[in-house]
Amino acid sequence: MTFRSPAREGRSPALSRRQFIAAAGAITATGLIKSPAIAQQALKGSLAYGSVGYTWALPYVAEEAGYWKQANVELSTSSFESGRDAMQALLSGSADFSASTDTPLVFAALTGLRPVAVANYSRYSRDMKIAVRSDSGIDPKVPASLRGRRIATRVGTSGQYLLAKYLELAGLKSGDITVVDLPPANMTTALVRGDIDGFAWSSQTVAVAQRQSGGKVAEMSFDGIEKYFQSHQLLLTTEKVLKDKPDLVKAAIQALFAAEQRIASDKAWPQLIADRIKTPAADIAESTSTFTFKIGFDDRFIDDLVAQAEWAITAGLGKAPKGDLRTLLRGLVAEGPTKAARPDRVTLA
């Protein structure tokens, strides 16, 4: 996203009455303003993404299709290596929103931080993958064959949570493997070199590893994973933004709902984001075929947050809160903006 400098202040040449009326009519026709003919000042907003990839397909479509602009928002964006890093930019005040999975939200909650989920816009069970070297002796069809192996992921992200739930599927314990904390950008190189036996990250990264290894990388079977793992993609904000910039939050929800409708009605939507994430549109369509693009909050979402928090506490990655865990996590869900736009999309008990 290009950052634009404010226009320099200065006097404009005087307009004739006819020119003024013509200009005002043109602006009104575009729908940019209501009557009276005074242009509404655009809202300024900033969004931090966790990495660059189709995981953030819905907010990317909102940008590329111009829905933020239609909602009267001038949006600036930045990208980080993971949702955790993007969330940290949000909490530091460097961004108004961050695109993240639910795992960084859970870890933040267990450390006393308070990012707020203002939209839950997509979810999946099969986009995260576990890639292994074909010559490592690991049988991709047998999840338990990961025992004793060095598997990389990014600690504190949905990748680590997926790995933990996959071990549960395999009948293994956390101590049955060695978890290696690596940035996503280094996972492919480490696997090809043989520094690790596998990694747990996005299917996009797995595809890169397969190409760079000349086909020496295989995917572990994910049969039955839906019972154990579901990742939610969130638009996070802060309580300060909710309080100080309610119009911006409302506009964000409008932009996301417009993007949801575009994805549902236009099969060619992957073309909108293909150049941005340097992935062919056909590959995006295939990879996101397991995604559910639907904005809303339900009890399954809260259940998944609680399950992740309980796992993190048991694994020694987070400290149990003094109060009730479900109450803590429920308090980090700001469903009001979604409910105001679509009451039927909020079914929280």
pLDDT tens string 100-138: 999 899 999 999 999 999 999 999 998 889 999 999 999
Return d(Cα 23, Cα 267) in angstroms, integer: 37
243 and 115, same domain (yes or no): yes
Return d(Cα 255, Cα 340) in angstroms, integer: 14
189 and 336, same domain (yes or no): no
Range of the domain at 310: 46-124+230-345
243 and 102, same domain (yes or no): yes
Domain boundary among 227, 243, 260: 227
Rounded to 10°, the helix 246-265/57-64 angle is 100
234 and 99, same domain (yes or no): yes
145 and 293, same domain (yes or no): no
133 and 186, same domain (yes or no): yes
Say which DSSP state 333 is in.
B
> What pLDDT sits at residue 19?
42
Return d(Cα 321, Cα 186) in angstroms, integer: 34
> Which stretches of the chain score pLDDT less than 70?
1-39
Domain boundary among 227, 244, 264: 227
> What pLDDT sits at residue 74?
98
Residue 320 included in any domain: yes
Q: Are strands 217-219 and 128-133 parallel, antiparallel or unpaired?
A: antiparallel
Q: Please indicate, yes or no, whether the overall pTM of this predicted structure exceeds 0.85.
A: no
Angstrom distances, CA of residue 54 to CA of 143, 182, 286, 321:
26, 21, 11, 34
137 and 271, same domain (yes or no): no
> What pLDDT sits at residue 238?
98
Domain boundary among 182, 212, 227: 227
Q: Are strands 198-202 and 128-133 parallel, antiparallel or unpaired?
A: antiparallel
Task: Find the length of the chain.
Answer: 349
Give residue for tokens 């907003």. Answer: 45
238 and 187, same domain (yes or no): no
Structural domains in the chain (count): 2
Which residue type does 91 have? L
> What pLDDT sits at residue 9?
33
290, 124 Cβ separation under 8 angstroms? yes
